[in-house]
Amino acid sequence: MEETIRSFAHHAHRGDSLVFKHYPLERGLIVENSEKYNVPERVRYIHGGHIPTLLRRAKGVVTVNSTVGLQALYHGAPVCATGAAFYARPGLACRGNLDEFWKVPSAPDRILFARFHRFMVHKTQINASFYVPASVRPERQRADIRRLSWRVGGGLMAFVLFAASGKSAGAGRIANWLLGSA
Protein backbone atom coordinates (compact mmCIF):
# COMPACT_ATOMS: atom_id res chain seq x y z
CA MET A 1 0.00 0.00 0.00
CA GLU A 2 2.76 2.40 0.84
CA GLU A 3 4.43 1.99 -2.55
CA THR A 4 1.12 2.58 -4.32
CA ILE A 5 0.44 5.77 -2.34
CA ARG A 6 4.04 6.98 -2.73
CA SER A 7 3.94 6.45 -6.49
CA PHE A 8 0.49 8.06 -6.76
CA ALA A 9 1.67 11.12 -4.79
CA HIS A 10 4.70 11.62 -7.01
CA HIS A 11 3.41 10.64 -10.47
CA ALA A 12 -0.39 10.89 -10.76
CA HIS A 13 -2.12 13.98 -12.11
CA ARG A 14 -2.97 16.48 -9.34
CA GLY A 15 -6.71 16.19 -10.03
CA ASP A 16 -6.78 12.39 -9.69
CA SER A 17 -8.02 10.54 -6.62
CA LEU A 18 -6.91 7.18 -5.31
CA VAL A 19 -9.70 4.98 -3.95
CA PHE A 20 -9.00 1.88 -1.88
CA LYS A 21 -11.75 -0.69 -1.56
CA HIS A 22 -11.98 -2.33 1.85
CA TYR A 23 -9.32 -4.93 2.51
CA PRO A 24 -9.55 -6.95 5.74
CA LEU A 25 -5.83 -6.67 6.57
CA GLU A 26 -5.73 -2.88 6.25
CA ARG A 27 -4.82 -1.54 9.68
CA GLY A 28 -4.71 2.23 9.26
CA LEU A 29 -1.84 2.19 6.79
CA ILE A 30 -3.84 4.00 4.12
CA VAL A 31 -4.45 7.06 6.29
CA GLU A 32 -0.92 6.92 7.70
CA ASN A 33 0.72 6.74 4.27
CA SER A 34 -1.56 9.28 2.61
CA GLU A 35 -0.52 11.74 5.33
CA LYS A 36 3.14 10.73 5.03
CA TYR A 37 3.10 11.55 1.30
CA ASN A 38 0.91 14.67 1.70
CA VAL A 39 -2.12 13.43 -0.26
CA PRO A 40 -4.80 12.72 2.39
CA GLU A 41 -7.37 14.85 0.52
CA ARG A 42 -6.82 12.77 -2.65
CA VAL A 43 -6.96 9.29 -1.05
CA ARG A 44 -10.26 7.60 -0.13
CA TYR A 45 -11.05 4.35 1.64
CA ILE A 46 -14.46 2.82 0.99
CA HIS A 47 -16.11 -0.22 2.56
CA GLY A 48 -18.70 -0.96 -0.08
CA GLY A 49 -19.87 -0.12 -3.51
CA HIS A 50 -21.00 -1.84 -6.65
CA ILE A 51 -17.73 -2.97 -8.25
CA PRO A 52 -18.89 -2.73 -11.90
CA THR A 53 -20.07 0.86 -11.34
CA LEU A 54 -16.78 1.79 -9.69
CA LEU A 55 -14.84 0.16 -12.52
CA ARG A 56 -16.78 1.91 -15.27
CA ARG A 57 -15.91 5.26 -13.65
CA ALA A 58 -12.28 4.40 -12.86
CA LYS A 59 -9.38 5.86 -14.76
CA GLY A 60 -7.50 2.67 -13.89
CA VAL A 61 -7.14 -0.14 -11.36
CA VAL A 62 -4.05 -1.11 -9.37
CA THR A 63 -4.05 -4.56 -7.80
CA VAL A 64 -1.59 -7.17 -6.63
CA ASN A 65 -3.36 -10.11 -8.27
CA SER A 66 -7.03 -9.77 -7.29
CA THR A 67 -9.97 -10.98 -9.32
CA VAL A 68 -11.00 -7.31 -9.37
CA GLY A 69 -8.31 -7.03 -12.04
CA LEU A 70 -10.27 -9.49 -14.19
CA GLN A 71 -13.46 -7.54 -13.58
CA ALA A 72 -11.67 -4.33 -14.56
CA LEU A 73 -10.46 -5.90 -17.81
CA TYR A 74 -14.01 -7.08 -18.52
CA HIS A 75 -15.27 -3.51 -18.10
CA GLY A 76 -12.44 -2.07 -20.20
CA ALA A 77 -10.60 -0.31 -17.35
CA PRO A 78 -6.80 -0.12 -17.50
CA VAL A 79 -5.13 -2.47 -15.00
CA CYS A 80 -1.70 -2.45 -13.38
CA ALA A 81 -0.90 -5.69 -11.56
CA THR A 82 1.92 -5.31 -9.07
CA GLY A 83 2.06 -9.02 -8.26
CA ALA A 84 2.09 -12.27 -10.19
CA ALA A 85 -1.38 -12.03 -11.74
CA PHE A 86 -2.00 -14.60 -14.47
CA TYR A 87 -3.82 -11.95 -16.51
CA ALA A 88 -0.88 -9.50 -16.47
CA ARG A 89 -0.03 -9.95 -20.13
CA PRO A 90 1.01 -7.47 -22.82
CA GLY A 91 -2.12 -5.95 -24.29
CA LEU A 92 -4.22 -6.76 -21.22
CA ALA A 93 -2.58 -5.31 -18.11
CA CYS A 94 0.63 -3.52 -17.26
CA ARG A 95 2.99 -5.34 -14.97
CA GLY A 96 4.18 -3.32 -12.00
CA ASN A 97 5.32 0.04 -13.43
CA LEU A 98 3.09 2.26 -11.30
CA ASP A 99 4.95 5.48 -11.98
CA GLU A 100 4.12 5.27 -15.70
CA PHE A 101 0.65 3.83 -15.15
CA TRP A 102 -0.59 6.98 -13.39
CA LYS A 103 0.50 9.11 -16.33
CA VAL A 104 -0.66 6.94 -19.22
CA PRO A 105 -2.99 4.10 -18.20
CA SER A 106 -3.54 1.84 -21.22
CA ALA A 107 -6.95 0.29 -21.75
CA PRO A 108 -6.91 -3.44 -22.45
CA ASP A 109 -7.06 -4.53 -26.07
CA ARG A 110 -10.75 -5.52 -26.41
CA ILE A 111 -10.16 -8.18 -29.07
CA LEU A 112 -7.30 -9.73 -27.10
CA PHE A 113 -9.41 -9.67 -23.93
CA ALA A 114 -12.34 -11.32 -25.74
CA ARG A 115 -10.00 -14.13 -26.86
CA PHE A 116 -8.50 -14.42 -23.36
CA HIS A 117 -11.98 -14.48 -21.79
CA ARG A 118 -13.22 -17.19 -24.20
CA PHE A 119 -10.11 -19.26 -23.51
CA MET A 120 -10.52 -18.96 -19.73
CA VAL A 121 -14.22 -19.81 -19.84
CA HIS A 122 -13.66 -22.80 -22.12
CA LYS A 123 -10.60 -24.20 -20.37
CA THR A 124 -11.27 -23.48 -16.68
CA GLN A 125 -15.00 -23.09 -16.08
CA ILE A 126 -17.95 -25.43 -15.83
CA ASN A 127 -21.34 -23.99 -16.67
CA ALA A 128 -23.40 -25.71 -13.99
CA SER A 129 -24.97 -25.30 -10.57
CA PHE A 130 -24.01 -26.77 -7.20
CA TYR A 131 -27.71 -27.02 -6.38
CA VAL A 132 -28.73 -29.37 -9.19
CA PRO A 133 -28.34 -33.10 -8.41
CA ALA A 134 -25.93 -34.97 -10.69
CA SER A 135 -28.72 -37.23 -11.91
CA VAL A 136 -30.58 -34.19 -13.30
CA ARG A 137 -27.55 -32.47 -14.85
CA PRO A 138 -27.52 -32.52 -18.64
CA GLU A 139 -24.90 -34.73 -20.27
CA ARG A 140 -23.10 -31.58 -21.53
CA GLN A 141 -22.39 -30.48 -17.93
CA ARG A 142 -21.21 -33.97 -16.97
CA ALA A 143 -18.93 -33.94 -20.03
CA ASP A 144 -17.58 -30.51 -19.04
CA ILE A 145 -16.76 -31.81 -15.56
CA ARG A 146 -14.95 -34.83 -17.02
CA ARG A 147 -13.10 -32.56 -19.51
CA LEU A 148 -11.95 -30.19 -16.78
CA SER A 149 -10.94 -32.97 -14.40
CA TRP A 150 -8.88 -34.58 -17.19
CA ARG A 151 -7.03 -31.29 -17.84
CA VAL A 152 -6.40 -30.56 -14.19
CA GLY A 153 -5.59 -34.17 -13.39
CA GLY A 154 -4.16 -34.86 -9.96
CA GLY A 155 -4.72 -31.27 -8.84
CA LEU A 156 -8.48 -31.68 -9.05
CA MET A 157 -8.39 -34.97 -7.23
CA ALA A 158 -6.23 -33.43 -4.49
CA PHE A 159 -8.79 -30.66 -4.17
CA VAL A 160 -11.65 -33.14 -4.09
CA LEU A 161 -9.96 -35.32 -1.49
CA PHE A 162 -9.09 -32.29 0.62
CA ALA A 163 -12.61 -30.90 0.30
CA ALA A 164 -14.21 -34.26 1.07
CA SER A 165 -12.16 -34.66 4.22
CA GLY A 166 -12.84 -31.10 5.40
CA LYS A 167 -15.13 -30.36 8.33
CA SER A 168 -17.40 -28.04 6.37
CA ALA A 169 -20.62 -29.46 4.96
CA GLY A 170 -20.09 -27.11 2.03
CA ALA A 171 -16.73 -28.69 1.19
CA GLY A 172 -18.29 -32.15 1.12
CA ARG A 173 -21.10 -30.92 -1.12
CA ILE A 174 -18.56 -29.43 -3.54
CA ALA A 175 -16.56 -32.66 -3.59
CA ASN A 176 -19.71 -34.70 -4.21
CA TRP A 177 -20.79 -32.29 -6.92
CA LEU A 178 -17.45 -32.55 -8.69
CA LEU A 179 -17.51 -36.33 -8.47
CA GLY A 180 -21.07 -36.43 -9.80
CA SER A 181 -22.60 -38.08 -6.76
CA ALA A 182 -24.68 -35.13 -5.53
Q: Tell me what pLDDT residue 121 has.
A: 83
Confidence of residue 23 (pLDDT cuts 50, 70, 90): confident
How many helices and strands (H and E) does the chain possess? Answer: 9, 5
Write the DSSP assignment of 34-66 as a string of letters.
HHHTT-GGGEEEES---HHHHHHH-S-EEESS-
Tell me if the pTM is above 0.85: no
- Please identify, in words, the CATH class of the domain defined by 2-119: alpha beta
Compare 123 and 133 and report the one with higher pLDDT: 123
Tell me the pLDDT tens digit for each residue of 30-48. Answer: 999 999 999 999 999 888 7
How many whole angstroms separate alpha carbon 96 and alpha carbon 84?
9
Core vs surface per residue 29-66: b (16+ CB within 10 A) or e: ebeebbeebebeebbeeeeeeeeeebbeebebbbbeeb
Phi-psi region at 151: left, alpha or beta (left = phi > 0; alpha = psi -120 to 50): alpha
Q: Where in the chain is the domain with CATH 3.40.50.2000?
A: 2-119
Tell me the pLDDT tens digit for each residue of 146-178. Answer: 665 554 444 444 444 433 334 444 444 444 444
Q: Tell me what pLDDT residue 165 has.
A: 39
Q: Are 16 and 35 in contact (CB under 8 A)?
A: no
Q: 92 forms bridges with which residues in the sheet?
A: none
Q: Tell me what pLDDT residue 160 has.
A: 43
Sheet holding 94-95, edge to edge: 61-63, 79-81, 94-95
Q: What is the C-alpha R_g of the chain?
A: 20
Check pLDDT > 90 for residue 6: yes
Confidence of residue 27 (pLDDT cuts 50, 70, 90): confident
Q: Tell me what pLDDT residue 57 has.
A: 87
Q: How do strand 61-63 and strand 79-81 relate by DSSP bridges?
A: parallel
Average pLDDT over the chain, rounded to whole?
Answer: 78
Q: Kindly report the backbone phi and psi dihedral angles of residue 97, in degrees, each rounded to the nearest multiple of 5, phi listed first.
A: -90, 80
